[in-house]
Chains A and B, each alone.
Chain A
Amino acid sequence: MTRELGFAQAINEALDLCLANDPAVYVVGLGVPDPKGIFGTTLGLQQKYGSDRVMDMPTSEGGMTGVAIGSALVGMRPIMTHQRVDFALLAIEQIVNQAAKWHYMFGGKMRVPLVIRMIVGRGWGQGPQHSQSLQAWFAHVPGLKVVMPATPYDAKGLLIASVEDDSPVIFIEHRWLHNIVGHVPEGLYRVPIGEARVVREGRDLTIVAMSYMTLEALRAAELLRADGVEAEIVDVRTVRPLDEALILASVRKTGRAVALDTSWKTAGFAAEIVARIAEEVFADLKAPPRRAALPECPTPTTPALANRYYPRAADIAAAARELLGVAPDGALAVPATGLPLDVPDPSFTGPF
């Protein structure tokens, strides 16, 4: 019998195991030991490991990132948590100038084994400053690794691998994944950083996804199946280092690609995917690659506009049909669920 666990619980279990496994590991972040426990991901850990290993912090994202870096230089393995990606921008100087570069700029003498968890908000009016998904910023910087799991299994395995990695890792969680449930083995296991996964096999086109967009891709694949189209879905799992070989192998096979993003189109992750496809497998393409990403505006707060902001399964399917020149089956194109569009599932009633 396979064990099922929620995504947030899988994170919690990974943190628990890492704390138990290595006395150098500590968890720090604003609200880490509070009653909400970072959406449940840090609940119970301070009770179990004490306030020297699981700790709250001043509202000093930049300074505390420097503190975490300094502690990592002398042998600790900090796991820092921000409740939103947007808040971590206060620490961008420390992350980009310092954490990312200390190994290289000191000729390999120093290492910064630091994990920084950041959460992408969405829906329920998160608005311009609680919803940004800036993986492209971090992935742009050599020296940083950027991880974006889509499943509870990968969340646990990738977080353990990140904590054990000797380089700084930006671990990006999507808020709409915290409540999903999936198979998660007990005990320590690692999902290697830098390995993508074929989530669904198909012959007609490749959908390259990450994080929450992997779920939308799976829904899109179901819509496309009704049109007789079989989509292959690659969940990159790690944005940097990117598993280019797996993506390119899939596109060589299908000849068509749609790259998804949780962020904007311009200079984004999906742009990087399309660029690599164009550079490496252009001759195998049967149609120009496409992107499904956010429109070029900040996230609006009102649901009236936010509902038009995020690409959904139907949009992805529409992009795929265009690539294939397939007319949609009108009856099946967009299932009218009647559910609100600004929550991941009906159990989510806000506010954060």
Chain B
Amino acid sequence: MNAETLGELFYAMLRIRLVEERIAELYAEQEMRCPVHLCIGQEAVAVGVCANLSPDDYVLSGHRSHGHYLAKGGNLKTMLAELYGKVTGCAQGKGGSMHLVDLAVGFLGAAPIVGSTIPIAVGAAFGSALRGERRVAVAFFGEGATEEGIFHESLNFAAMKKLPVVFVCENNLYSVYSPLSVRQPAERDLMAIAAGHGVAAERGDGNDVAVVYALAGEAAARARQGGGPTLLELTTYRWREHCGPLYDNDLGYRSEAEFEGWRQRCPVAHAERTLGARGALDEAEIARMHAAIAAEIDDAVAFAKTSPFPKPSALLEHVYAQ
């Protein structure tokens, strides 16, 4: 990967990291009154995949969607306003962190029922194919979703219709606190499961943005060329608690050693080191990036905090489309 592309991907990852860290910091103020599922540690998947998409392509996501939304180009101000429950939020405050949307960039929506948006992504691809368009639809989900029946139903249909879908499984090893060992047999092979459904599949390091970018690039190209769907299993790790701003290793469901091992493999730091080693990024440039992103976040937070709440009359609006 050339340094310019890697530099862009690094910036996008750093931006997501700093947004999430700011949310974690501000959460204690108790003004963001909705659950938040931070993606710190998993930024490379969102960025590496979405860098292969155009605004015309569709993305759907689940409960941990901030990174996907931002990587797809979703508006930061309306995202933060949504977390603050404001009328200027991307869903006018009715959705919150778990229901981000930005139609201008093809981020069709997110919903926190595990696996539930996978067929909706397939449907977006199917609908656009019926309309004679050629858009790629990406479904982001965790490995827990591969335990849901609807995941298999979605692969089956996408393969049968050769739909332009990229199924992106972020395997972060835990469904809330439940490890893989209590949820899947040790010999379970997602690649073989995909193959059984007639879906092309690749596995890769979800903490290496260059790897993700390359795999997603092949999958998106296959989709655009009429080659049908691809499943990507990208292994990664959630640093903070399942839901909320804190670290939760003290609970004992995972070991400090395991966490440290993954923290050493930080996707943002990895890209930063690679760029540094190539002489494509220096301390001053990194500092400029941090400052620029911090200023953008300051702006967005101010926008969110000073925006008005929805009027009481909004309660019964939008139940039915007019």
Contacts and interface: CB of A to CB of B under 8 A. Distances in A.
Interface of A: 24, 26, 52, 57-58, 60, 62-76, 93-94, 97-98, 102-113, 142-143, 145, 165-167
B322 interface: yes
B119 A63 contact: yes
B93 interface: yes
B27 interface: no
Nearest to B95: A105
Contact of A70 (B90, B113, B123): B123
Contact of A58 (B121, B153, B322): B153
Contacts of A105: 91, 94-95, 99, 111
Nearest to A57: B157
Contacts of B156: 58, 60, 63
B123 A166 contact: no
Nearest to B137: A70
Contacts of B119: 62-67, 69-70, 94
Contacts of A143: 319-320
Contacts, number: 153
**Chief secondary structure at chain B's binding surface:** mixed
10 contacts: A58-B157, A63-B122, A63-B149, A66-B120, A69-B120, A70-B124, A73-B127, A105-B111, A106-B101, A111-B321
Contacts of B128: 74
Interface in B187-237: none
A167 B124 contact: no
Max chain A Cβ within 10 angstroms of own Cβ: one of B116, B131, B150:
B150
B130 A71 contact: yes
A107 B103 contact: no
A97 B116 contact: yes
B101 A104 contact: no
A76 B116 CA distance: 20
A73 B149 contact: no
Given A69-B123, A106-B101, A76 B153 contact: no
Given A67-B157, A71-B130, A106-B91, A98 B123 contact: no
B304 to A, nearest CB: 15
B160 interface: yes
A109 B103 contact: yes
B213 to A, nearest CB: 26
A72 B128 CA distance: 10
A272 to B, nearest CB: 18
A143 B125 CA distance: 24
A104 B320 CA distance: 8
Contact of A66 (B103, B118, B317, B320): B118
Interface in B63-98: 89-95
A71 B89 CA distance: 25
Nearest to B123: A70
